[in-house]
């Protein structure tokens, strides 16, 4: 059986990951990852050509279980992953003194170490032949800056960016590896911020291009995976409406 080439999108059950999946679904089969099967199924039916996409439900906090789960699924469905978008993420915010080790571990596993584990598997010939050619990590502008209570989130995204650069060098020329660094966009993760009128007003003031949308991030991911970006690797593409270059007082 000739393997089917697909794009794996983690975190495709919600927010930016779902929007990215919808955008990428025009190009070919997707492997849609998330924990919530009902919401993954919802993403699948909203994609173009729903019948050609596959689901991979897995809790990425369970790092040790990724290999078995993913390898079995690829073999059973006759899939190989040509492009990988890591969008799954958790935002754990709170003062350091209240941070417990479980939350630290979960954040690092979901945001960073699962991306390492998945790429480690996808470059193995026995598992994925030499199918992989493009990787995009959805990082955050928080990888570049600090904010109160964001220590572990910032660290997880900085780690992802550092890994992205090293991987870009190691896997060239066969695989291009980049990161998209979004500013704040409204999703389940950030809903609480957007519901706060003061925060919303501040955002409208601080973002020179105004508040962005999930589709703005999906468009950047789509660009980095496309042939239009054939000479781009190892880069952090900031998509934040100019927020991080705005020093207006």
Ligand X SMILES: NC(=O)c1ccc[n+]([C@@H]2O[C@H](COP(=O)([O-])OP(=O)(O)OC[C@H]3O[C@@H](n4cnc5c(N)ncnc54)[C@H](OP(=O)(O)O)[C@@H]3O)[C@@H](O)[C@H]2O)c1
Task: For residue 237, give the 3-state DSSP assignment.
Answer: strand
Binding of residue 151 to ligand X (CB under 6 A): no
Binding of residue 121 to ligand X (CB under 6 A): no
* Span from 66-74, 97-105, 164-172, 181-189 in contact with ligand X (CB under 6 A): 181-189
Q: Is residue 153 flagged as an active site residue?
A: yes
Q: How far is CA 73 from the centre of its chain?
A: 20
Binding of residue 15 to ligand X (CB under 6 A): yes
Binding of residue 87 to ligand X (CB under 6 A): yes
Judged by CB under 6 A, which of 6, 7, 8, 11 binds ligand X? 11
Nearest approach, Cβ of residue 231 and ligand X (Å)? 26
Residue 83's closest CA among 179, 193, 209, 176? 176
Please give the backbone phi and psi of residue 195, each rounded to the nearest 5 degrees, phi first. Answer: -80, -15
Nearest approach, Cβ of residue 130 and ligand X (Å)? 27
DSSP state of 14: S
Kindly write out the interface string for residues 186-205 of this chain, putting x where it contacts ligand X by CB under 6 A and - elsewhere.
Answer: -xxxx---------------
Q: How far apart are CA 3 and CA 74, in angstroms?
A: 9
16-35 positions binding ligand X, by CB under 6 A = 16-17, 34-35
Nearest approach, Cβ of residue 212 and ligand X (Å)? 9
Sequential DSSP letters for 32-71:
EEES-HHHHHHHHHHSSSGGG-EEEE--TT-GGGHHHHHH
Q: Beta-carbon neighbour count of residue 233 at 10 Å?
A: 21
Binding of residue 42 to ligand X (CB under 6 A): no
Binding of residue 182 to ligand X (CB under 6 A): yes
Both tokens assigned to 206? 């601080």
Half-sphere exposure of 98 (CA within 13 A, CB side): 7
Q: One of 56, 112, 137, 153 is an active-site residue; which one?
A: 153
Q: Which amino acids are annotated catalytic? A: 153
The site for ligand X (CB under 6 A) is made up of: 11, 13-17, 34-36, 39, 59-61, 87-91, 110, 138, 140, 182, 184-185, 187-190
């Amino acid at each position: 059986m000739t393997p089917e080439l697909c794009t794996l999108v983690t975190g495709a059950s919600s927010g930016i990951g779902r929007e990215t999946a919808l955008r990428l679904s025009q190009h070919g089969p997707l492997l849609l990852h998330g924990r919530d099967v009902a919401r993954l199924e919802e993403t699948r039916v909203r994609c173009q050509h729903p019948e050609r996409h596959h689901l991979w439900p897995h809790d990425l906090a369970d790092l040790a279980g990724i290999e078995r789960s993913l390898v079995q699924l690829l073999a059973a469905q006759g899939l190989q992953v040509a492009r990988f978008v890591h969008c799954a993420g958790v935002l754990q915010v709170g003062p350091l003194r209240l941070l417990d080790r479980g939350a630290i571990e979960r954040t690092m596993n979901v945001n960073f170490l699962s991306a390492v584990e998945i790429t480690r598997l996808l470059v193995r010939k026995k598992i994925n032949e030499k199918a992989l050619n493009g990787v995009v990590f959805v990082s955050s502008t928080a990888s570049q800056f600090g904010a109160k209570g964001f220590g572990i989130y910032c660290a997880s995204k900085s780690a992802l960016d550092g890994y992205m650069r090293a991987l870009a060098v190691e896997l060239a020329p066969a695989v291009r590896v980049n990161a998209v660094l979004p500013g704040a966009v409204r999703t389940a993760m950030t809903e609480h911020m957007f519901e706060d009128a003061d925060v919303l007003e501040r955002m409208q003031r601080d973002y020179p291009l105004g508040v962005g949308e999930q589709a703005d991030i999906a468009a950047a991911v789509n660009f980095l995976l496309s042939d239009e970006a054939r000479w781009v690797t190892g880069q952090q593409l900031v998509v934040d409406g100019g927020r991080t270059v705005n020093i207006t007082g």
